[in-house]
């Protein structure tokens, strides 16, 4: 039982978006929408400012009138980030809201862009749109309005793209820097995009936690191997039971939660890789029982052991 039950934001004007989803022989996610799931009656309408910043504040002690508590908020969001996204990009509205972000200690974003089916490469237009969104969220988190019980140096932004999205972002940022230097005829190696301080000299903590499929994850250049899946060789219909749906989302949320609550990068990555693996081991989402928690602890210890032995390993993916 959750200490704070989830809050559902209902709408009588929209249908729940539905997709058919499957994984090909390389465990790459494939999906198609059902009916008008991504039209105005589905995601395109539902994802416009739902949940709103007010909804999120109401879900914490900050939104209550009883004065009880001063929760430090970790805000994690899966955001449509390409050009012409469903909901017109309004699913990112809470992360751009000044009253909410003034209370946020850590923000975590999974930018969602879809690579070309044939090439596996994200288009330049989608990459540029994702870069713009990430930059806006960063500016919002590290802006200058008065903070509410959140020290400037405590704030953290985690960006958790999958490998194709990450590679596209890195490539396009490098291209933008080259073009800017050419225009300015500036040979200085310093670049504002690489500065980890704001205009007032305060440190900006921004981390990229890349979901790298069956290879595990990469955080700021350091590789973290996956945990080995524990699944029966076959289930009743003769197929191996591995369902990676949601493993990457679980990884990103777990990594951000661990970092926001005091874990260092290595500990957070080991736990997050373990959470992703446990999700893969279940037909659906794991039952969050003590048995599942014990399995996560076991898997995290295995990942840590692989790092100590220098073993990249192979196992559960975090797509």
pLDDT tens digits, one per residue of 161-186: 999 999 999 999 998 888 877 776 65
User: Looking at the predicted structure, is the pLDDT value of residue 218 above 60?
Assistant: yes
Q: How far apart are CA 138 and CA 59, in angstroms?
A: 23
pLDDT-derived band of residue 193, with 50, 70 and 90 as boundaries? very low
Is the domain of 130 the same as that of 144?
yes
Is the domain of 52 the same as that of 106?
yes
pLDDT-derived band of residue 126, with 50, 70 and 90 as boundaries? very high
Is the domain of 160 the same as that of 219?
no
Q: Does 19 map to a domain?
A: no
Is the domain of 89 the same as that of 183?
yes
Asked which of 156, 177, 211 is the last residue of a domain, the reply is: 211
Q: Does 21 map to a domain?
A: no
How do residues 234-271 score in pLDDT, each as one tens digit?
A: 555 544 556 666 788 999 999 999 998 889 999 999 99
Instruction: Look at the chain and report how many structural domains it folds into.
Output: 2
pLDDT for the residue numbered 238: 46
Residues in the chain: 319
Q: Does 275 map to a domain?
A: yes
Is the domain of 169 the same as that of 106?
yes
DSSP for 154-174, please give it.
G-EEEE--BHHHHHHHHHHHH
Which range has the worst mean pLDDT, 12-16, 162-166, 312-316? 312-316
How do residues 18-62 score in pLDDT, each as one tens digit?
A: 877 776 676 666 777 788 777 777 777 777 777 888 888 877 765
Strand partners, 209: 219
Mean per-residue pLDDT over the chain, rounded: 79
Is the domain of 182 the same as that of 255?
no
Contact by Cβ (8 Å): 19, 32 = yes
Is the domain of 181 the same as that of 258?
no
Which range has the worst mean pLDDT, 130-144, 206-220, 238-252, 294-308? 238-252
pTM passes above 0.75:
yes
Q: Does 145 map to a domain?
A: yes
Task: Tell which residue, 36, 133, 41, has the closest CA to residue 80.
Answer: 133
Query: The domain containing residue 87 runs over which residues?
Result: 35-188+196-211
Q: Between residues 286 and 232, which one has the greater pLDDT?
A: 286
- Tokens 């295995």, located at residue: 302
pLDDT for the residue numbered 191: 46
Q: Tell me what percent of the residues of the chain surpass a pLDDT of 90.
A: 32
Is the domain of 44 the same as that of 55?
yes
Is the domain of 218 the same as that of 172?
no
What is the average pLDDT across 272-285?
A: 87
Q: Between residues 185 and 189, which one has the greater pLDDT?
A: 185
């Amino acid at each position: 039982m959750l200490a704070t039950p989830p809050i559902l934001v209902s709408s009588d004007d929209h249908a729940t978006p539905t997709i058919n989803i499957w994984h090909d022989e390389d465990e790459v996610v494939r999906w198609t929408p059902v009916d008008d799931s991504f039209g105005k009656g589905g995601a395109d309408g539902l994802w416009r400012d739902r949940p709103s910043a007010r909804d999120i504040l109401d879900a914490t002690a900050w939104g209550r009138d009883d004065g009880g508590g001063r929760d430090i908020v970790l805000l994690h969001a899966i955001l449509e980030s390409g050009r012409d996204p469903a909901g017109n990009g309004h699913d990112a509205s809470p992360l751009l809201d000044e009253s909410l972000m003034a209370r946020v200690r850590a923000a975590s974003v999974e930018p969602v862009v879809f690579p070309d089916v044939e090439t596996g490469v994200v288009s330049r237009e989608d990459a540029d749109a994702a870069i713009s969104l990430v930059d806006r969220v960063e500016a919002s988190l590290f802006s200058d309005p008065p903070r509410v019980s959140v020290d400037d140096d405590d704030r953290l932004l985690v960006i958790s793209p999958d490998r194709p999205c990450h590679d596209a972002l890195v490539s396009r940022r490098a291209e933008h820097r080259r073009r800017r230097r050419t225009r300015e005829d500036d040979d200085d190696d310093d670049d504002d995009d690489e500065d980890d301080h704001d205009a007032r000299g305060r440190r900006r903590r921004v981390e990229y936690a890349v979901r790298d499929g069956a290879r595990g994850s990469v955080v700021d250049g350091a590789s973290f191997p996956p945990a080995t899946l524990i699944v029966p060789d076959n289930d009743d219909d003769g197929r191996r039971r591995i369902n990676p749906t949601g493993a990457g989302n679980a990884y990103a949320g777990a990594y951000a939660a661990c970092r926001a609550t005091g874990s260092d990068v290595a500990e957070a990555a080991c736990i997050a890789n373990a959470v992703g693996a446990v999700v893969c081991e279940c037909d659906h989402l794991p039952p969050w029982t003590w048995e599942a928690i014990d399995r996560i602890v076991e898997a995290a210890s295995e990942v840590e052991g692989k790092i100590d032995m220098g073993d990249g390993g192979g196992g559960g993916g975090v797509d």
